[in-house]
A and B are shown apart, each in its own frame.
Chain A
């Protein structure tokens, strides 16, 4: 079955303020517990329908759809039609970029703390 990509409309009003680049928008999109949980779920279990995503969840179908759309706006997730259902999946690339930035800063902390260790232990 061929999957048709859903047209994702970027709402410009969502952009927090000028000067924030794409990575910042990704971090902003991830700065919400429900959305982080959705990302974790899609990452662990792979593509799934809204129905499956909301099964046993405390949030409504509409709320989950909205959250998924926010993730789609920054390119973190995308959906395709499978019969009558929308199936959502993660777009791995933006996550990699965001992680890479943090990894760099994280490595610098490791280095700085290595120097601190040397400094206080000698």
Chain B
């Protein structure tokens, strides 16, 4: 496993246009990603907003759009796991998140790569994450259950 990047691949049983809309439309994106963003995605656009996950409503959230190639590629930069409202993350390096869409017989193959973790003080974020009582753990269990059923 590489220490600098995370790569995920998922088959979505939906047309490419639908997946693109879920990524590139701010409202749709916010619905599944769990954020409320102001503005709309466009190359170079900086969007700010709030995390909507229970227990994280006080955490502001920022994304800088990089590339948008309709129905093919969408990328943005952010401060990963920047969930401590008391910490200013702006001086830290960002990671790059790239979504790539590929049409397959069953629907759309989506690949997500987040890279650039070297140089980011991740341990500190891990502490903030553990310190939050609400945690993502319960939420992740619920999703695991859902994904398990759907698979």
Seen from chain A, the residues whose Cβ lies within 8 Å of a Cβ on chain B are 16, 19-24, 26-28, 30-31, 36, 97-102, 104-121
Nearest to B97 among chain A residues (CB) is: A109
Task: Tell me if B10 is interfacial: C-beta within 8 Å of chain A.
Answer: yes
Contact residue range for chain B?
35 or more
Q: Give the shortest distance, in Å, between B9 (CB) and chain A (any CB).
A: 9
Most buried by B among A28, A30, A105, A112: A105
Q: Give the shortest distance, in Å, between B148 (CB) and chain A (any CB).
A: 10
**DSSP majority for the A interface?**
helix
Task: Tell me if B105 is interfacial: C-beta within 8 Å of chain A.
Answer: no
Q: Are B14 and A108 in contact (CB under 8 A)?
A: no
Q: Are B18 and A111 in contact (CB under 8 A)?
A: no
Task: Tell me if B45 is interfacial: C-beta within 8 Å of chain A.
Answer: no
Instruction: Name the B residues within 8 Å of A101 (CB-CB).
Output: 122-123, 125-126
17 more A-B residue pairs beyond the given contacts A30-B118, A108-B140, A109-B6, with a C-beta to C-beta distance below 8 A: A19-B92, A21-B121, A22-B123, A24-B118, A24-B121, A99-B3, A105-B117, A106-B8, A109-B114, A110-B140, A113-B8, A116-B22, A117-B12, A117-B150, A120-B18, A120-B19, A121-B13
Of A16, A97, A98, which contacts B119 at CB under 8 A?
A16
